[in-house]
Amino acid sequence: MRDDLRLRVARADDLTPSVRRFVLEDPAGAALPGYRAGAHVAVTTPAGHRRSYSLVEPGARAPLRYVLCVRRDADGRGGSVSMHDDVAVGDELDVSAPANAFPLLRARRYLFIAGGIGITPVRAMVGELRARGGAEVRVLYLTRSPEETAFLDEFSADGSLVHHSALHGRLDLWPHLAEPDDDARVYCCGPTELVREVQALTAHWRPSRVHVEDFAGVDALGGRRAPFTAVWEPTGARVEVDAGTTALAALERAGVVLEASCGSGTCGTCRLRLLAGEAEHRDMVLTADERAGWFMPCVSRALSPELVLAPPDRPGGPGGGPAAGVH
């Protein structure tokens, strides 16, 4: 079971015609669990969707509020529409404690490339770095138009390169990425096509220096799709997961009742304990430490012939030791 926070919507305002900012607080005014820049929370919308949203303010040990921004996507899976249409100031929402699968690592220089709503984790990172000082920070913020640019005044005034494709065409990223720099880190967050472009243009960089986050989620059946066996530990049932089926679908088809929401490895709802076997983690939720003992069946697969899985409230992890806690 999830151990969510119950938070009140203290403020909701529109930054652009499609982007709304939400300020979430404890109803009693208590401090919230801390986080570092790059973290996200999972929110259960009034319509029942479970969606992950980056926190847009610099990290804090005991913040009094979480601030997130949601872009309304009428063609999406319904979560953003519910946040825009169904949430009002004073409402209370179930919100996970922060998790961070896009951590800000130390470097002498940073290049941030944000596309559209991908500015949300970047804003927190840039704010944290500038408050800390001592590092060179550059930001390329790519949007379609000024009207659809959240935090436009802020990034226009701080020396960032804010580029609007409707006015100036696509920005050529090659001059910014042509020379690899082992003392720098590149962080990119935005649409899938932007993330893939940055990955292609940084193929000559050390992989450890390039960090990406794709808000579109993961193609559950993309890439390597070898079949494997999922062993459901509570009953011992052996469930065959073929190349064209997700582990989530195979388990549900075998009668295992699981919670699930996004289907794209971004919300964390369907996480299971990984008790044995080697997983091919494809999600955007689990941290490096959590991947030893957790598995996201909606998108991830197996590198070993079988995985032994259990419900999230089942104790234990690989080798019998405790696994990381549920967010």
pLDDT on residue 216: 58
Region 236-261 average pLDDT: 93
In the structure, what pLDDT confidence band is assigned to residue 77 with cuts at 50, 70 and 90? confident
The pLDDT value given to residue 261: 81
pLDDT of residue 320 exceeding 60, the answer is no
Q: Could you tell me if 284 and 267 are in contact, meaning their C-beta atoms sit under 8 angstroms apart?
A: no
What's the chain's average pLDDT? Answer: 91
SS3 24: strand
At 293-309, the pLDDT tens digits run: 999 999 999 999 999 99
CA 152, chain centre distance (Å):
23
Q: Which CATH class is domain 5-95?
A: mainly beta
For 8-59, how does the pLDDT look when each residue is reduced to its tens digit (9 = 90+)? Answer: 999 999 999 999 999 999 999 999 999 999 999 999 999 999 888 999 999 9
- Which three-class secondary structure state does DSSP give residue 194? helix
Band (pLDDT 50/70/90 cuts) for residue 233 is very high
Mean pLDDT of 274-290: 90
110-121 pLDDT, tens digit each? 999 999 999 999
**Model confidence at 325: pLDDT above 90:** no
- pTM beyond 0.85: no
Share of the chain above pLDDT 70, in %: 92
Scanning 87-191, the segments in alpha helix (DSSP H) are: 119-132, 152-157, 165-168, 174-177
Phi, psi for residue 218 in degrees, rounded to 5 = -115, 140
CATH architecture of the domain 109-214 equals: 3-Layer(aba) Sandwich (3.40)
pLDDT of 221 reads: 66
* Confidence class for position 192, pLDDT limits 50, 70, 90: confident
Per-domain boundaries in the chain: 5-95, 109-214, 228-320
Amino acid, single-letter form, for residue 283: D
Please give the average per-residue pLDDT across 182-206, as a whole number.
95
Strands 301-302 and 210-214: unpaired
- The pLDDT of 147-171, averaged and rounded, is 96
Instruction: Tell me the one-letter amino acid at 199.
Output: Q
CATH of 228-320, one of 3.40.50.12280, 3.30.2010.10, 3.40.50.2300, 3.10.20.30: 3.10.20.30
Q: Is the pLDDT of residue 86 over 70?
A: yes
Q: How much is the pLDDT for 159?
A: 92
Question: Percentage of the chain with pLDDT > 90?
Answer: 79
Q: What is the pLDDT of residue 224?
A: 66
Amino acid at 320: G
pLDDT of 82 strictly over 60: yes
CB 69 within 8 A of CB 123: no
Q: Would you state the pLDDT for residue 315? A: 63
**Torsion sign across C-alpha atoms 98, 101, 102, 107:** positive
pLDDT score for 68: 97
